[in-house]
A and B are shown apart, each in its own frame.
Chain A
Amino acid sequence: MLEPKAQPADGVLRINMGPQHPATHGVISFMVETDGEIMRKATPDVGFLHRGVEKMAEITSYPGFMPYTDRVDYLASMFANHGYAMAVERLLALEVPRKAQYLRVIADELNRIASHLVATGTMAMDLGAFTPFTHWIRERESINDFMELICGARLTYNYLRVGGVCADWPVGLTEKILLWLDHFEPIIDEFNRLITGNEIFINRLANVAVIPGAMAVDWALSGPNLRASGVPFDLRRCQPYSVYPELQFDLAVGTGSRGTVGDCYDRFWVRIVEMRESCRMLRQLLAGIPEGDFKAKVGRTIKVPAGEVYSAVESARGEIGYYLVADGTDRPVRVKIRTGSFTAVALVEPISRGLMLADLVAVIGSLDIVAPEIDR
């Protein structure tokens, strides 16, 4: 957190945006130095939601830490579950049943759609277009219903277990999701007519806060933000895990369709395209859920052999990685969680220079920052 500072004497005004500003997507603050409407720079001030999740991991058993991972990113907790489960399984050299792999990836892709709905919806809302958000929230509600059937929770899922998932696939859910996909895919077109192609919206985003590909890689930007900068990097493709190698999907990469590659509009557009690709993957997955166990046989107490592993999955907000150090007991020595929002928020300061103050909202929205994921 930043130290209080006096106003500078050279005519620059130093103001706080946040930590309770509605457009900062959670409790996060920006120390903005402005010259009229022009920003000199915006310095992120984070830590308001620091709960010490990594410290809690060290005093919790391996299976007991799973619900804590939900709280790392409340909009995409399935990925946080997945990365952690994979880390423990790799050290245990535990084979996860194929059916469980399928159920995990179905849940991941549903969660990706839900998360991108919030990301693109709130981004439009922050820029003054309220209606698209209400459309998206209606669609997200269906996904919440599915999640409730899958695991009993609508937000913090705690669905994954070391070795599989917590429950078998509900009877009749496949048909429900397929019906919803038939309904949802045309809704994306409707959404595009409503806002994606809207001239005012485009003008607010095109050519704003351009992040060139080389800069994005240097700052370890990940996920849709990195791909929007024209870098075709996706862990599902470049470091494939679970059943992703068997799925057909295209990477959404920024093309500068309305302005420059890596601008705010590209970051918005990439997420719209990714939702379509997720629908495509869901259809493939739902057509082929194999028979078998949904969880491998794992004892109640898990002792992980000494060793260390870094396991990462492609979350809706980029790479969520777990660096896990184990010493042979039933508790980890260290769990370090690398998140997409953490590297994204670091980039705000270098790209904010010279932007209009009102564009800061577009930048934060386009980077899809979620505060608890930064602070952990």
Chain B
Amino acid sequence: MDVREIFQRLEAKLGSVGLALAQPAAGDPSITVPAARLRDACRFLKSDPDLAFDYLRCVSGVDLKDRMESVYHLFSTQRSHGVVLKVVLDRGNPEVDSVEPVWKSANWFERESFDLLGIRYLGHSNLVRVMMPGDWVGHPLRKDYVEQEHYHGIPTTRPDPVGGEDA
């Protein structure tokens, strides 16, 4: 099923709540969903027998400087089609409902996005850092991230061993 048809079905189900379809000349098409309706949209995409998106292959957080995005790459193992869902988030307060109740794989994907970008997934069963230590300050994949100078008294930088300008 192509993305336009998926979009129409989603719009028929959710009503005109501000869904947007993007079909750029290069790259993948995507459907932007308002954050408040994300879980409804996901539930529908998974349960509808013609769509049957049973496989959440990836969740990515993206920092675009003026906003953040949480991007969901879905696939149907039964129908062999895919779709990209997007949620635009306020950079100062990035929050969105977790889709863990819909697909279990979101558990770790969302933990990673939380860890590295600071996106909070509401209703997640265990939203703790996955890569960085629990007491690490900041989210490294944010564009304005500044690494802390020390971690438990250990410097996070060292002098350049070959004597370059920057450490």
A residues near B (Cβ < 8 Å) are 1-3, 46-47, 50, 52, 54-55, 90-91, 93, 215, 217-220, 222, 231, 233, 238-239, 305, 307-310, 312, 319, 321, 323, 325, 333-334, 336, 338, 342-343, 345-346, 350, 375
Contact = CB atoms under 8 A, between A and B. Distances in A.
Contacts of B24: 307
A338 B77 contact: no
A218 B80 contact: no
Contacts of B54: 217-218
Given A46-B131, A218-B105, A323 B58 contact: yes
Interface stretch (B4-12, B33-41, B133-141, B159-167): B133-141
B132 interface: yes
A315 B57 CA distance: 14
Nearest to A338: B58
B63 A310 contact: no
A343 B108 CA distance: 7
25 contacts: A1-B134, A47-B131, A47-B132, A50-B131, A90-B27, A93-B26, A217-B54, A218-B105, A231-B77, A238-B80, A239-B82, A305-B26, A308-B28, A308-B30, A309-B28, A310-B84, A321-B58, A323-B73, A334-B62, A336-B61, A338-B58, A343-B105, A346-B107, A346-B108, A375-B131
Contact of A47 (B28, B107, B130, B141): B130
A166 B128 CA distance: 42
A2 B134 contact: yes
A262 B26 CA distance: 39
Interface residues of B, number: 38
A57 to B, nearest CB: 10
Contacts of B107: 346
Given A239-B80, A333-B62, A346-B108, A321 B131 contact: no
Nearest to A52: B140
The listed residue with most A CB atoms (<10 A of its CB), out of B57, B64, B132, is B57
A338 B88 CA distance: 21
Nearest to B54: A217
Interface in B88-121: 103-105, 107-109, 112, 116
Nearest to B86: A308
B77 A217 contact: yes
A195 B33 CA distance: 52
A219 B54 CA distance: 10
B64 A333 contact: yes
A281 to B, nearest CB: 21
Contacts of A46: 130-131
Nearest to A3: B134
Contacts of A52: 140
B132 A50 contact: yes
A338 B57 contact: yes
A1 B133 contact: yes
Nearest to A51: B131
B56 interface: yes
Given A319-B57, A343-B108, A218 B73 contact: no
Contacts of A220: 55-57, 103, 105, 109
Contact of B105 (A50, A90, A346): A346
Contact of A334 (B25, B63, B80, B134): B63
B27 A91 contact: yes
A171 to B, nearest CB: 38
Given A46-B131, A90-B27, A310 B73 contact: yes
B21 interface: no
B47 interface: no
B148 interface: no
A342 B140 CA distance: 19
A323 B62 CA distance: 10
The listed residue with most B CB atoms (<10 A of its CB), out of A233, A238, A239, A346, is A346
